[in-house]
Amino acid sequence: MFDRLPEYPWAQLKPFAELASQHAGGIVDLSVGSPVDPTPFAIQSALNAAANSPGYPSTGGSAEFKTAVVSWFSRRRQVPDLSIDQVMPSIGSKELISFLPLLLGLKPGDVVVQPSVAYTAYVVGAALADCEIVSEDDPALWPENTKLVWLNSPGNPDGRVLSAEELRQAVARARELGAVIASDECYAELGWDEWESQLIPSILDPRVCEGDHTNLLALYSLSKQSNMAGHRAAFAAGDAKLVKSLVNLRMHAGLNTPAPVQHAIAVALRDSEHVNHAKNVYRNRREVLLEAVKAYGFDVSDSEAGLYIWATLYEDCWKTVESMAKLGILVAPGTLYEPDSKHVRFALTATDERINEASKRLHDAIGLEHR
Ligand SMILES: Cc1ncc(COP(=O)(O)O)c(C=O)c1O
């Protein structure tokens, strides 16, 4: 049982963290996507205001929470046709991702599909339910016994955005297979380049599913856009029947989101201003780091939204991790997300000062023997 999952993969980075820490200017840790900016004051106030909370919270979510989620989907995600029985809170998204196959009753041998370059939690969920994981982007190649498909747009680590048409094709194929599609969309308000001027589509968008939410679930998190990773503030929306069953199981299991966090989610979703502010902060960091990463000689793939730069020197990714660590910069090796990767992932979740320092070190290294 305990060998179903290996040691937590970030442990492999420890020697490189030690190497990077020896740099005279200190380590610039760009290896994890954990926000460093303050939780907005209005959200902190909301948490304080709801701190008196002696009773158990609603597993399915308070009326205030549900109304705020429905209205946010309409305002910010082009999903105008959700009702309050289609939404539920989760305790951060990672928890729901990791337990969804179990909660859906998937059996050993059932297939869970994930993107070819994938965030690490989808495989964890498949392993906990003893399911087979298939990494495949092309819907035509999803196996017949697929029971759950994970989409991730914008993607972590690659920042790839799926168009409404790509999502539509995925939904059509999942419907042929009778599979559930869970779409992990937590970077959807952080679009760059062409996604600055248009909203990033959700799986629940009528252009994608024609208003039929059967077997569809969109997962969202306020960890990134509202600097609430410490509060485990997240939610899911979609098929009302699915939501009802999940909430029932989660009620039995005690998987409920604290009431003050539900209130804070509602307050955060009603306020776009702090999200715009966070986006401006990340846009600046991205510009600085992207320019330096390219100047150093990296080719950048996708990275059109979200909080990462997915880049390659066309060599074993661990070699790149080492050369970055020698500059005091810690990055995540691509092998955490795809086998035999030649990419590394730079996170934008460091202070302006650290991002500027990383940029300076990359520039200073140009022309020196760095590879
Ligand atoms: C694609 C993706 N999904 C889910 C999560 C988890 O978010 P949460 O903090 O809500 O657990 C992350 C966090 O990095 C992520 O990158």
- Per residue in 239-293, pLDDT (tens digit) is 999 999 999 999 999 999 999 999 999 999 999 999 999 999 999 999 999 999 9
Statement to judge: residues 185 and 64 lie in one domain: yes
For ligand 1, whether the C-beta of 59 sits within 6 Å is: no
**DSSP state, residue 10:** G
Q: If you compute the radius of gyration of the chain from its CA atoms, what whole number of angstroms results?
A: 20
Q: What is the pLDDT averaged over residues 64-77? A: 98
Q: Is 94 in the pocket of ligand 1 (CB under 6 A)?
A: yes
Same domain assignment for residues 256 and 294: no
Containing structural domain, residue 313: 2-38+274-365
Asked, for residue 370, whether it belongs to a domain, the answer is no
Which residue's CA is minimally distant from atom 14 of ligand 1? 33
Q: In this structure, is residue 148 part of a structural domain?
A: yes
> Domain check: are 97 and 144 in the same one?
yes
Does the pLDDT value for residue 27 go beyond 60?
yes
Q: Which of 222, 247, 271 is at the close of a domain?
A: 271
Q: Summarize the confidence of residues 51-55 as an average pLDDT.
A: 98
Beta carbon of 114 within 6 Å of any ligand 1 atom? no
Q: Is the CB of 223 under 6 A from ligand 1?
A: yes
From atom 7 of ligand 1, which residue's Cα is the shortest distance away? 93
Q: Is the CB of 345 under 6 A from ligand 1?
A: no
- For the chain, the domain total comes to 2
Q: What percent of the chain has pLDDT over 90?
A: 95
Mean of the pLDDT values across residues 98-114?
Answer: 97
The string of pLDDT tens digits covering residues 286-340 is 999 999 999 999 999 999 999 999 999 999 999 999 999 999 999 999 999 999 9
For residues 141 and 63, membership in a common domain is answered with yes
Position 280 scores a pLDDT of 98
Q: Which of 256, 242, 235, 248 is nearest to 67 (CA)?
A: 235
Distance CA 338, CA 183 (A): 19
pLDDT of residue 8: 77
Closest among 135, 169, 145, 128 to 1, alpha carbons compared? 128
Look at residue 152 and tell me whether its pLDDT is greater than 90: yes
List C-alpha distances in Å: 214 to 70, 209, 210.
17, 9, 11
Q: Do 294 and 238 have their domain in common? A: no
Mutate to test the pocket of ligand 1, among 91, 221, 308 (most ligand atoms within 8 A of CB): 221
Max distance between CA atoms of the chain, in angstroms, equals 63
Our answer on whether the CB atom of 153 is closer than 6 Å to any ligand 1 atom is no
User: Does the CB atom of residue 321 touch ligand 1 within 6 A?
Assistant: no
Cα–Cα distance measured from residue 96 to residue 154, given in angstroms and rounded to the nearest whole number = 18
State the distance from the centre of ligand 1 to the C-alpha of 205, rounded, in angstroms: 21
186 lines ligand 1 (CB under 6 A): yes
Rounded average pLDDT over 205-213: 98
Residues 170 and 145 in one domain: yes
Terminal-to-terminal C-alpha distance of the chain: 42
Domain-embedded: residue 371: no
Mean of pLDDT values over 18-27: 97
Ligand 1: atom nearest CA of 97 is 4
Q: Are residues 95 and 222 in the same domain?
A: yes
Task: Give the pLDDT score at 2.
Answer: 60
184 lines ligand 1 (CB under 6 A): yes
pLDDT on residue 240: 98
Instruction: Tell me whether strands 329-330 and 28-29 are parallel, antiparallel or unpaired.
Output: parallel
Of 243, 271, 299, the domain-final residue: 271
How much is the pLDDT for 9? 75
Q: Do 72 and 139 reside in the same domain of the chain? A: yes
Residue whose CB lies within 8 A of the most ligand 1 atoms, among 123, 223, 224, for a mutation test: 223
pLDDT value at 56 more than 80 = yes
Residue 307 and residue 162 share a domain: no
Q: Give CA–CA dist 112/126, Å, rounded.
A: 6
57 has a pLDDT exceeding 90: yes
User: What's the mean pLDDT in 25-30?
Assistant: 98
Question: Mean pLDDT, the chain, as a whole number?
Answer: 96
Residue 369, pLDDT score: 52
**330 occurs within a structural domain:** yes
DSSP 45-93: HHHHHT----SPPPSS--HHHHHHHHHHHHHHSS-----GGGEEEEESH
pLDDT at res. 71: 98
* Statement to judge: residues 147 and 166 lie in one domain: yes
Query: For position 5, what pLDDT does the model report?
Result: 77
User: What is the predicted pLDDT for the residue at 94?
Assistant: 97
Give residue 11's pLDDT band: very low, low, confident or very high (50, 70, 90): confident
Question: What H or E segment, with its residue span, contains residue 301?
Answer: strand 299-301
Instruction: Check whether residue 109 and residue 138 sit in a common domain.
Output: yes
Q: What is the CATH number for 339?
A: 3.90.1150.10
Ligand 1: which atom is nearest the Cα of residue 90? 10
Single residue among 271, 306, 339 that ends a domain in this structure: 271
